[in-house]
Structure 1
């Protein structure tokens, strides 16, 4: 009975360590979202989703890898016990968030897989990072790995449906269906490019209009004709207001 209690405490402590790492990383992401909300007109982070593998899932994976069934072995061989998915609007946002995480002095990027520049054969796209997060326990500090997946809304939509379609599919998938799935991934990638182009064009128009508004106060319009107000006249107006 005492041995069972000791094992239960160990596995609870082990899982809590990953939960704390996930909580810490989510807090960092929330701070970035708040910063963009207050300082910029645009927030690159649409939403986040986190998950912890169950002990059963961890054991199954360590057995598939044919590794020792021990806590040190699990930590060394399974890097995605804790996972965080960040969904963005545009592809450029993915790399912006990647840079933000790399600039966090207490985080360490130990692995990076860019499935956007190099999609998987089935069409899957996403940026995967393995991030070491410091966790401060009551008696020690631990560096805990968290897998971070950063993808656009279109990438996430495709990946979620692909997983549902083939989840626990034990037979060989017909080539026709694989080809259609790859075509759908290509369509999602094309949509990402189109929406980013529209976003950039609208941003340019907005910036142009803002610049026009700044200079608009130095122009007057009479009978649909625009006249520039000379700087000397503006100085005279300012001087007159100063004498009032």
Structure 2
């Protein structure tokens, strides 16, 4: 790959636009005074070294990076509750500004490591000065607990080069189950949590109104 800047530019644009659109969903829920299934959104373009490393492990030629390395452009959507994940996926399925290529449900079918998340691989049309370019991107949707576990597991995978000692592997699997049990417990009381969050927002809005009223005097 000689021109990495030129190759990655459409992916950077894709991440920026997808982040804006996903945050737009969150904003619309907030404006309607409803619980948003999206807590927050992050995004990144895979580092060059990581692209090369992944392609090497999967024996992908550099001429096939764009077609076969599906997570060069990636966004993560964090949700408060497991049920929110399905709502976000439904929103993505209904959109007509990109085409979903594949869905990978690692929540109902967790990986042997204990990894849980929902992946949506899509084809996104980027508008450039040379016309439209279709970019493959991946959106990962998970709860905050799932994301905490995945972040720790990812860090450890670098330390051990994906070859975890048995003890660490077992502890990670137990931690994954504990994180999922936390998600389940939170789901059982989500109605109460929603009510508490709405109450806090009402109190904050009232406080702002009171301050404005005092300042006008």
Rounded to whole Å, the distance in 1 between the matches of 2:162 and 2:187 is: 38
- The answer to whether structure 1 residue 162 and structure 2 residue 167 are counterparts is no
Segments of 5+ residues of structure 2 without an aligned counterpart are 198-217
Q: Which moved more, 1:114-123 or 1:47-56?
A: 47-56
- Equivalence for 2:86: 95
Residue 6 of structure 2 corresponds to which residue in structure 1? 13
1:28 maps onto 2:32 in alignment: no
CA distance in 1, matches of 2:196, 2:47: 49
The TM-score normalised by the length of structure 1 is 0.74
TM-score, normalisation: structure 2 = 0.83
How far apart are 1:168 and its partner, in Å?
Answer: 3.1
Distance 1:52 1:188, change over 3 A: same
CA shift, 1:201, in A, is 5.1
Moved over 4 A (4+): 201-206
**1:64 corresponds to 2:57:** yes
The residue that corresponds to 1:46 in the other structure is: 39
2:126, 2:193 → 1: CA distance?
A: 43
Q: Does the 8 Å CA contact 2:35/2:194 hold for their aligned counterparts? A: no
- 1:159 is paired with a residue of what secondary structure? helix
Select the structure of larger CA radius of gyration: 1
Q: 1:193 to 1:74 in 2, by over 3 A?
A: same
1:169–1:35 CA distance, 2 compared to 1 (3 A): same
Cα distance change of structure 1 residues 100 and 135 upon mapping to structure 2, 3 Å threshold: same
Count residues in correspondence.
Answer: 197
RMSD in angstroms over aligned alpha carbons? 2.2
Equivalent residue for 2:171?
180
Cα distance 1:64–1:100, how it changes in 2: closer, same or farther (>3 A)? Answer: same
For residues 199-214 of structure 1, the aligned pairs below 5 Å read 199-200=190-191
The structure, 1 or 2, with the larger RCO (C-alpha pairs under 8 Å, 6+ apart) is 2
CA shift digits 1:92-111 (9 cap, x unpaired): 11110111111111211101
Secondary structure of 2:155's match? helix
